[in-house]
Every structure is written in C-alpha cells, then in structure tokens.
A and B are shown apart, each in its own frame.
Chain A
Amino acid sequence: EAGVAQSPRYKIIEKRQSVAFWCNPISGHATLYWYQQILGQGPKLLIQFQNNGVVDDSQLPKDRFSAERLKGVDSTLKIQPAKLEDSAVYLCASRAQGRIFNEQFFGPGTRLTVL
C-alpha cells in the first residue's frame, strides 16, 4: 500500500511570507495528524483530524497557522505570516480508525526554512 505523501519536501521563504503544505494520507485512514519538529527536538502535535473534523488543535498557533481537510482525505497546513521560529520539519501522519493498536504512519515531511 502507498504511504503518506507530502509536498513539497523543502521550502524556503522569507519571514512574513505565506506557505502551504499538502498531505495525502494512506487510503482509508480516517485520522490525520500534523506535527511540527524543530531541529533537535521530538515532533509536537499541531492538529488532529478525524475524517474532516478537528479533534485536537490545542497546540496550533491559530493566529498564524490554519489547517483543513475538506473532504476527509487530503489536508493542507498553512502558515501566514511566517516567523523565523517556524523553521522546522512539518510531518503528516495517518492512522486507520478502529485499530486496537494505535500505530501512526508518517510521511517524509516538509522542511521549512524561514529567512
């Protein structure tokens, strides 16, 4: 089965610009996650979707970050305007619903550099 797809793999922008990342989860996976991984740290959950509804966005900086999953499949994460501290790898992950074992499958990530 195909894995979690993300694009772009790399993005360089200047501060105050906008940027968007795209994620396509594994087919049939109802749950989708966006994580932020700052260099030298573990991933931190930004937002979790169940189908097209938000389950947890408590750690999403809502003044500049937004995310959507309109049809319950693909998702986009947007940053507007970007700050220097947003430089990080943004990981998308997905999980099948109803699994006893809570394995999340991760995509390759998007490395964002804000100059």
Chain B
Amino acid sequence: AQTVTQSQPEMSVQEAETVTLSCTYDTSESDYYLFWYKQPPSRQMILVIRQEAYKQQNATENRFSVNFQKAAKSFSLKISDSQLGDAAMYFCAFIQSGGSRLTFGEGTQLTVNP
C-alpha cells in the first residue's frame, strides 16, 4: 500500500517570499503520478501541479515548482513570490499509473503574512 507523509502541519511565509512544503511517499510502484492540491477555506480542492514519475524534469507552473527526488521518494513544493491568496491547506497526493485511487497526505496549513 502506498503512503504519503507531510511532516509540516503548519508553515508560514511573508508575502513575496519563497516557501517550500515537504512531502515524502512510500511505494513499490515505478510508474506513478504525484500531485499538490490546494484547499482554501471554501473546501474546493484545486490541482496546483503534477509530476509524472517517469519524467526527470521537475514540473513548474508559474510561481509553483516541485523538487522531485525519485530515489529518495521526496516531492516538495516551492511557492515563489508568495501571495495572500496562496494561504490554504496544501495536500500532497499519489496515484499509481493506471490506477484511480488517490492517496493523500495529512496536509500542511500555509499562512501568508502581509
């Protein structure tokens, strides 16, 4: 069974600064996808970024980028130029290729200070 661990229950960052959220996972699969989801107080889960395990290049989406270390089973999210609207709960999630069950971590609550 796959597990996803987020060791930072809470993080805070100053507006315009950079913050990194950590995630580790455990799997015996070699082909899978990793995701970061954002969940604001409205509860709507929004996909922030995804990474295919077979790709060595780290994914980027505007101010969001990941550091994917497959051998270490690590998948961190970097948010650059943090904005007040980035404040939310962030979840790391895993799904094996061809599968359909998402496994989520426990989440990291990000606070952005003005």
Report which A residues bind B (CB closer than 8 A).
Answer: 31, 33, 40-45, 48, 55-56, 89, 91, 93, 95, 101-104, 106-109, 111
Contact = CB atoms under 8 A, between A and B. Distances in A.
Contacts of B45: 43, 91, 93, 106
Nearest to B4: A42
B16 interface: no
**Which 9 A-B residue pairs are closest in the complex by CB-CB distance?**
A42-B104, A106-B45, A109-B43, A108-B44, A42-B91, A43-B104, A102-B95, A45-B101, A42-B105
A42 B103 CA distance: 8
A51 B68 CA distance: 34
Interface in B12-28: none
B111 to A, nearest CB: 15
Contacts of A93: 45
Interface string B21-53: 000000000000100000000111111001000
B86 interface: no
Given A108-B42, A111-B43, A41 B33 contact: no
Given A95-B100, A101-B33, A106 B105 contact: no
28 contacts: A31-B100, A33-B100, A40-B107, A41-B106, A42-B4, A42-B105, A42-B106, A43-B45, A43-B102, A43-B104, A44-B104, A45-B102, A48-B100, A48-B101, A56-B101, A91-B43, A93-B45, A101-B33, A101-B50, A102-B95, A103-B47, A103-B50, A106-B44, A106-B45, A107-B44, A108-B42, A108-B43, A109-B44
